[in-house]
Amino acid sequence: MKVLVTGANGQLGQDVVRIFNQLGHEVYGLSRDRLDITNQEQCNSVIFDLQPDAVIHCAAYTAVDAAEMEEDTAYLVNAVGSRNIVVAAEKVGAKVCYISTDYVFDGHSNEAYREYDNTDPQTVYGKSKRAGEQLVQTLSSRYYIVRTSWVYGSHGNNFVKTMLKLGAEKPSLQVVNDQLGSPTYTVDLAYFLEELIQTERYGVYHASNTETCSWFEFAQAIFDYAGLKPELLPCTTEQFPRPAPRPKNSIMEHLSIRTNGLRDLRPWKEALQDFIKNEI
């Protein structure tokens, strides 16, 4: 397949480009300097010239706290930019895979969120990503929306890399123990996306590594697998106030993966072990 990847220099985008190339696709990985998604004319021109079969739309404004002060920018990228990509893709008959987030939910549920549960984002970031979802659903005739959570990989900044650095430098650390979710390794997510876009099983998907943990338990596993031994102390969300509220519950049920007969991602501990083995 001929695949265009937006946000190709990002944490997920770089692994999507690499893995899709390895699997034999004709991949065009475009970063902001080659494709400014907020420029509608440029989106139309680039996508018309390349004529992709599918667009993996990884480009996004993801600074959760900064978005609270930069609402217009968050919506410009996550909503308007996504509209521009979808409108252009529709003109050439390309499928669109929009990468979304657990932040479209309120984070207060006592159960895992299913794909078609009501959304209720509590942050500007979450609201802008939900707006992007709505525009994709409205304007594309062949779309996949893939919500993911707690993403980490070899590129960019993320929780695992931060913990590896701090665990090697500091004798003790506090990590919140009252937020639950599922970590997601970019490599595993990229393989899932590659399988998904070759199907016509359109719709909304939740895709993360399977099984769940708290950030504290995640940090414990990181230190265990890396052979680091800082003192790890649990704390509450209230002890670390942030401009944007964090979801207490980010756990997402993989109902669509099961009902569409797709292969689920492996447990998060297996993925984390592989990542640390490759990084250290």
Rounded CA separation 115/204 (Å) = 6
Q: Kindly state the tokens that stand for 121.
A: 């984002």
CATH number at residue 102: 3.40.50.720
The residue among 210, 97, 202 whose CA lies nearest residue 150 is 210
Clarify whether 28 is annotated catalytic.
no
Question: What type of residue is 14?
Answer: Q
For residue 124, tell me if it sits in a domain: yes
Q: What one-character-per-residue DSSP string does 153-212 give?
A: -SSS--HHHHHHHHHHH-SEEEEESS-EE--EEHHHHHHHHHHHTTS---EEEE---BS-
For residue 216, tell me if it sits in a domain: no
> What is the residue range of 45's domain?
2-157+183-210+251-266
186-196 and 268-279 helices cross at what angle (nearest 10)?
Answer: 120
Backbone angles phi, psi at 123, to 5 degrees: -130, 160
Cβ contact 197:54 at 8 Å: yes
User: What rounded mean pLDDT belongs to the chain?
Assistant: 97
Of the candidates 61, 98, 113, 125, the residue annotated as catalytic is 125
Rounded CA separation 269/131 (Å) = 33
Going residue by residue through the chain, which has 280 residues, state the pLDDT in tens, using 9 for 90 and above: 999 999 999 999 999 999 999 999 999 999 999 999 999 999 999 999 999 999 999 999 999 999 999 999 999 999 999 999 999 999 999 999 999 999 999 999 999 999 999 999 999 999 999 999 999 999 999 999 999 999 999 999 999 999 999 999 999 999 999 999 999 999 999 999 999 999 999 999 999 999 999 999 999 999 999 999 999 999 999 998 899 999 999 999 999 999 999 999 999 999 999 999 988 7
For residue 272, tell me if it sits in a domain: no
For residue 194, tell me if it sits in a domain: yes
| Structural domain count, the chain | 1
For residue 275, tell me if it sits in a domain: no
For residue 173, tell me if it sits in a domain: no
Apex 269 CA angle, 123 and 159, nearest 5: 40
For residue 162, tell me if it sits in a domain: no
For residue 223, tell me if it sits in a domain: no
- pTM for the model: 0.97
